[in-house]
Amino acid sequence: MKQAKVIILAGQSNAVGVGFVKYLPKYFDTEVCQKLTSPFEHIQISYVSHDIQSNGFVPTTINCTEETKDTFGPELGMAEYLSEASPDEDFFIVKCAFGGSDMFNGWRSPSSGVPYREELVAEPKKALVDPAYQFPGWCYNALVKRLRQSLDALKAAGLDPQIIGFCWMQGEADSAPPHAEPYIGRYECMLKDLKETFAPHFDGCHYADAGISEIWVDYEQMNTKKKAFADANGYSFVDTVGAGLTTRFEPEEEPDIYHYDAGSVMQLGRMFAQAILPSKKKEG
């Protein structure tokens, strides 16, 4: 049975991605922009966010985030890297990300005291807007539901799904007290519960955790915790600050300082892909 290589992309709004398509020409030439705005047929994605979700796997492309803003997320940089580093292989991205979501509440998993109940999976368009849908663990529940559906679809297609990467872009909403103190413990619980729930699909998975940007309160302490946890467990820490990712330039008329600029969204995706496929790291 042919193996299906699955990569999970999860977190809050910088995992959703607010890279504006109109700024891609600032960073890439015409040929590359054409490639980036065309579907990556061999890099499929199944996604759920606030405003939009796919009906199963579809080719990775722009607007896998919100319906109206003509934007893209880190999945585009991942697809661009994977298509060049492994042009003869298929990959399947499962993306579950919600702006403003936190580990303190939304991403909590059963091991941290919030039982999984599928009937409590939040409706993406209502989450973080209607308090009735803001129950503990709703983001984790949504990820479990989407991941289960995705793995089942791959199996039904005659494939053997193996999760080769878990990419985590989150922590902004938890950088300040009282959320910061229990953050790593609850993150560890979440990973433990995912691995146990979906064993043996996680065998051989590589974990990549991205640092948060300098705009956030106590970002240094959060990133120090994230890096220490990654180092202790043999995971990759994606150093977004050290790599110079920016949040202060776009949109030009009123910069959104909380979200990465288009070039940085692309770079974040490539850094994730390089972290989970280090043996196929692209030069340059």
Lowest-confidence segment of 133-137, 206-210, 225-229 by average pLDDT: 133-137
CA angle (29 as vertex; 23, 30 as ends), nearest 5: 90
Separation of CA 150 from chain center: 15
Residue 198 has which token pair? 């979906």
Distance CA 87, CA 14 (A): 27
Helix, strand and coil content of the chain, in percent to the nearest 5, comes to: 40, 20, 45
Q: How many residues does the chain have?
A: 284
pLDDT value at residue 115? 76
pLDDT value at residue 132? 65
Instruction: Render the burial of 21-49: b for 16+ CB within 10 Å, e for the rest.
Output: bebbeebbeeeeeeebeeebebbbbbbbb
> Which residues, other chains included, contact 157 with Cβ-Cβ below 8 Å and sequence gap of 6+?
4
How sure is the predictor about 281, in pLDDT bands with cuts at 50, 70 and 90?
Answer: very low
SS3 of 119, please? helix
CATH superfamily of 3-280: SGNH hydrolase (3.40.50.1110)
Task: Give the pLDDT confidence of 119-173 residue by residue, as tens digits.
Answer: 656 565 666 666 666 678 889 999 999 999 999 999 999 999 999 999 999 999 9
| Whether the Cβ atoms of residue 229 and residue 213 lie closer than 8 Å to each other | no
pLDDT value at residue 284? 38
Task: Give the max Cα distance, the chain.
Answer: 52
Q: Which amino acid is at 17?
A: G
| Whether the Cβ atoms of residue 5 and residue 79 lie closer than 8 Å to each other | no
Lowest-confidence segment of 72-76, 120-124, 260-264 by average pLDDT: 120-124
SS3 of 192, please? helix
Q: Are strands 206-210 and 236-238 parallel, antiparallel or unpaired?
A: parallel
Q: Which amino acid is at 79?
A: A
Q: Residue ranges per domain, the chain?
A: 3-280
Q: Based on the number of CB atoms within 10 Å of its own CB, is 7 exposed (0-12), middle (13-18) or buried (19 or more)?
A: buried
| Whether the Cβ atoms of residue 76 and residue 38 lie closer than 8 Å to each other | no
pLDDT value at residue 1? 86
> Which residues, other chains included, contact 110 with Cβ-Cβ below 8 Å and sequence gap of 6+?
116, 137, 189, 193
Distance CA 139, CA 125 (A): 13
Distance CA 49, CA 97 (A): 5
